[in-house]
Structure 1
Amino acid sequence: MGCLWKSEAQLENLLEELVSWNSVSGTQGEIDFPYKLKDKFQALEYFKTHEDNIQLFDAGKDRKAFTALYQSEATSNTVVLLSHFDTVGVEEYGQLQDLAFQADALTAVFQNNPEYLTLVAKADALSGEYLFGRGTMDMKMGLTLHMHLMEQAIQEEWPVNLLLVTVPDEEVSSAGMLAAVPGVLEISKAKHLNIKLFLNGEPSFTQEPLDENHYIYSGSIGKILPAALFYGVPTHAGEPLNGVTAHFLSAYLTKHMEFTSRFSETYDGETTPLPICLQANDLKAHYDVQTSHHSYALYNVVTLTQTAEDVMATFREIAEDAMHECRTDYEAVCQHSNVPPLNCFRVLDYNELLDYFIDKYSREEADALIQKVIEAEDVDQRKLTLMIADKLMEYCQELAPATVLMFAPPYMPAVNSSNDDLVQRLIAVTTETMKDRFDYKVTNKHYFNGISDLSYVNYNPDDEGWQSFKNNAPLWGESYSIPFKEMQQLSASVMNIGPFGKDAHKMTERLHKKNAFVMMPEVLRTVIQQLF
């Protein structure tokens, strides 16, 4: 039987088919995708006789992570090919939403109607060198390339094992990869695999607007979501100094958190983005003239080497500073109005609040209260996190006014294999192949700046800082957990080599065709051969 996914035209057709399988996060298409993919793999003779080498792992909400193993009899050395198949939504396409998953048709529309596009995107469309569509760049081309590698390994009987892993939910909470980690560990033990490399296929992301450089990555940045519940003392709006609003408290912490350099890290010239507030909302259910006593904020913090424990320590220091300023200003207002101030503005972390509740009531009552919130509230994990803390504070209002610090999902630890000998060799091979074969330059970066599922492998076996996350994440063990111990056992090197494209998550998302269908297959083949 001839090759299905080898030639330039075959790869483009495969990508267009995968893109046409609408798999927006949280939709039925995301649920259906791995079953369609299984049918594609079963067209290969190898998987007709090795049916057990395809496995699906439960990622919750009927979603499945997909794995397919090509196993050589010559070696235990293994490369894990990692990707995700979910995409973000298509609302920004407006009247073209129906074409967002029809890459060829959408590209033609943009070529014939360039007024839809920015000047740069217009030039790219008219050049004929790009393919537009949701998922073309982020990241169904990565999966396409990995399918190509699997077929070539089978046809040519490569003396290396390839374990393809593609997951749902990367764009939201990483539930797919969190399910895949124990699955990969299970497969590696059952099949006696020696995993040497986790090779992700995320595309090259720009470092700044209009960046035309093609990057490969020897690591991936970390992301953590410190959250704060602000619990004030309610009063009538006509008597404002008889209480303190949650919004008064939140304004000070957000002022101190946004753009602070206190979390900043630099590694070989690469610096983390500054923190920003991703969401700030009132928990008050309806409008009236009683002041709001509970609100929350979520802050985006990017890490390179910091653990959850490090982040919480800095978050606590910043919150203490913010509430000190808040109280100072509040007392000045009270003094000016000749009103006695409230006694204290507490800062405590979630674990302290939980311990206080247990001392006041009991562990059983705490568990029952938390479970009641989880069962009653059909909201996303971020808001549910805050609502658990809010419910505990409702029974401990003597602590108010208070700012309660915690972590909300997702948590993605940073990972970096830049100093690994194998990775150094692969970087050199990639750059040399692109230069010698295509007169094309690629640049290595230590950290992929788009966050990726590589965060859940190669976790430092000596790092116990994750305990701080566990202790201060209200949803831990309920609807969210991270398999840290399994991650520590998946200790192979990591790398990300993917295609060049532009404008991920925008209407103008597009993929450079020659780079994807001609250059990348050659490069990835050469990279894998380094492990032969």
Structure 2
Amino acid sequence: MFDCREEVLALTKQLVRIESIVNEGGEKVLSQALHTLISSYPYFQQQVDHVIYQQTENDDQERYNVIAFVKGTKNPSNKTVLLMGHIDTVGIDDFNLKELALDPDALAEALHHEDLTEEVRSHLESGEFEFGRGMLDMKSGVASHLYLLKYYSEHPEELEGNLMVVFECDEEDGSHGIISALSELKRLREVHGFDYVAAINADFVSPRYTGDPNRYIYKGTVGKLLPSFFITGSETHVGSCFEGIDPNFIAAHLTRQISYNPALCNEAFGEITVPPVSLKQMDLKPTYTVQTALSAYVYFNFFIHSWSPKEVLDRLKVEAETAFTTALTEFKENYLAFSKVSGEPMNDIHWEPRVMTYEDMHSLLQKEYGEVYETHMNAFNEQLLQQTELDTRMFAARVVEEAWKWMPDKNPAIIMFYSSLYSPRIEVTGKNDKEQNLLDALEVAVETVQPEYPHPIVTKNFFPYISDMSFVALSDDAAGISAVSSNNPGWGTKHFVDYEAVRAINVPVINIGPYGYDAHKQYERMEKSFSLNIVPNLTNEVIQQLIGGK
């Protein structure tokens, strides 16, 4: 086994000290630093075309990926293993010691004087944890890959294939980095004949529950969708509230129906996703008035293991219809009770639950108005693109809001759509030779390294967080992807992903990453023993099983 703890730690601290908050400019600085460092290695001074500085594509930020590869000389082969890692981090505004968030040594010293929970203080005083933004998520993982790249650049004779690193930006927001890297991976495959046999990501892992002793390795990853709902009501003056229906009232029932609903957890291979949770609930009223809102907007985080994007829409349509029915029932009951206590007569309620997908509404309007509608919406989308402050989620909502104005029937409705990036689910089950070879290699690696570490190293089927693993393989068929593109109002203008480019790479992927606590929080910390020593050695064992000639 490599005795690499101190070297990987030094690299990690070096990376953490370079601010690389997503979308704030630092990603470019860190990618430049990585490119300079890799280019300084003797191998890459001789093979200058083996390190690539790639600007992201279709991106409103200037930022870069760093891709580098070593060709093995032991028994030259096209077999190539990819090591993946993202270089961006979330922000530091949550830190009490904000000025020290990127200085691990000074931060640790200052934390001794802070009011900490018992767990955080015990980790700090143990000396076995390093604190700082990006320490866990995931610069220690990048450092592990960097260590292995350097080692094999000095020892290419130990490889029967090729080792490539892909250090990508923008994992924490829109995955522009890995999506852009696909074109470069394709080009390198064409130029060098690479056969991508496996990918190893190094994103962080954490306890799954309080007291969990396991350190996890994941085969494949969870998928993530952002199902969104545009909700219209019937506007009225608040002094005559029962003459209309507030879309916020319907939205509240929708959120209650969907958020934390265990019926919307997706089980596969004995593992289950967490239920959806609302990430935004708002109305679209621009200013204060005493009228109820015309429309509301809600979207939810939704994880999947085996369901397709179309299946998710089908299931959520049922939930939305239930929520709508419940809202109308409660509205009528409240109206009746008010009528009794006020003595005012009760008018007939003529609304019925109405839920449709954006695809259905768009098709209806195309048939109703034809080219006039199409021309108007295309012009509206182009105009909306000029509002650069709109993210993909609000862009999509505004497109639906504009399309709704064309609806002949303006009775209350819920329009369902997707408003953001779909991060595809990936299953690695041994269904082909590449997957089985990777699973076999991982099994040997764990058996080899486990005796060197006191805590159980456990493999599971789905990495439970969003990651760039989603963009190197595709388990969905064309119909599943079509449900995403056909139901995203910003597709082709504000938002586009070439999922067929993902399918063209289609390499089985696992995650062997650093272990720690509180990623994305101010006490983000990484356990040194597993992260700095076990992770590089586990990764190396998999490499050796696949392309080392073992």
Tell whether the structures are fold-level matches, with TM greater than 0.5: yes
Give yes or no for contact 1:205–1:449 (8 Å, CA) kept in 2: no
Distance 2:418 2:355 in 1: 15
Shift of 1:123: 0.7
Give yes or no for contact 1:83–1:167 (8 Å, CA) kept in 2: yes
TM, length-normalised to structure 1: 0.94
Matched-pair identity in %: 26
More divergent stretch after superposition (331-340 vs 183-192): 331-340
Q: Which residue of 2 aligns with 1:80?
A: 82
Q: Deviations over 1:230-251 (max 9, x none)?
A: 1222221112123221102212
SS of residue matched to 1:121: helix
Which residue, 406, 413, 423 being the options, matches 1:412? 423
Q: Which residue of 2 aligns with 1:271?
A: 272
More divergent stretch after superposition (390-399 vs 211-220): 390-399
Distance 1:322 1:54 in 2: 54
Label 1:210 to 1:185 Cα distance change in 2 as closer, same or farther (>3 A): farther
Which residue, 502, 514, 522 being the options, matches 1:499? 514
Distance 1:451 1:206 in 2: 16
Shift of 1:170: 1.1
Q: Which residue of 1 aligns with 2:315?
A: 314
The runs of 5 or more residues in structure 2 that have no matched partner are 340-344
How much is the aligned-residue C-alpha RMSD, in angstroms? 2.0
Distance 2:110 2:324 in 1: 54
Q: Deviations over 1:391-412 (max 9, x none)?
A: 2213437333111100021211
Distance 2:500 2:388 in 1: 30
Give yes or no for contact 2:35–2:51 (8 Å, CA) kept in 1: yes
Give yes or no for contact 1:218–1:423 (8 Å, CA) kept in 2: no
Shift of 1:198: 1.0
1:115-514 map, 5 Å: 115-157=114-156, 158-333=159-334, 336=339, 337-358=345-366, 359-360=368-369, 361-376=372-387, 378-396=389-407, 398-419=409-430, 420-460=435-475, 462-514=477-529
Shift of 1:496: 0.6
- Give yes or no for the alignment of 1:35 onto 2:32: yes
Shift of 1:140: 0.5
Distance 1:253 1:461 in 2: 28
SS of residue matched to 1:165: strand
Q: Deviations over 1:62-92 (max 9, x none)?
A: 1222211222351110011111111111122
The runs of 5 or more residues in structure 1 that have no matched partner are none
Shift of 1:515: 2.1
Which residue, 8, 16, 19 being the options, matches 2:16? 19
Q: Deviations over 1:266-321 (max 9, x none)?
A: 23332111111111112111112111111110111110011111111111121122
- Give yes or no for the alignment of 1:516 onto 2:498: no
Q: Deviations over 1:331-376 (max 9, x none)?
A: 4455654213244442121112223333323311121122222323
Give yes or no for contact 2:248–2:282 (8 Å, CA) kept in 1: no
Distance 2:465 2:351 in 1: 45
Q: Which amino acid letter does the alignment assign opposite residue 186 of structure 1?
A: R
May I ask how many residue pairs the two structures share in their alignment? 525
- Give yes or no for the alignment of 1:526 onto 2:541: yes
Distance 1:91 1:314 in 2: 37
Distance 1:461 1:137 in 2: 30
More divergent stretch after superposition (313-322 vs 370-379): 370-379
Give yes or no for contact 2:424–2:476 (8 Å, CA) kept in 1: no
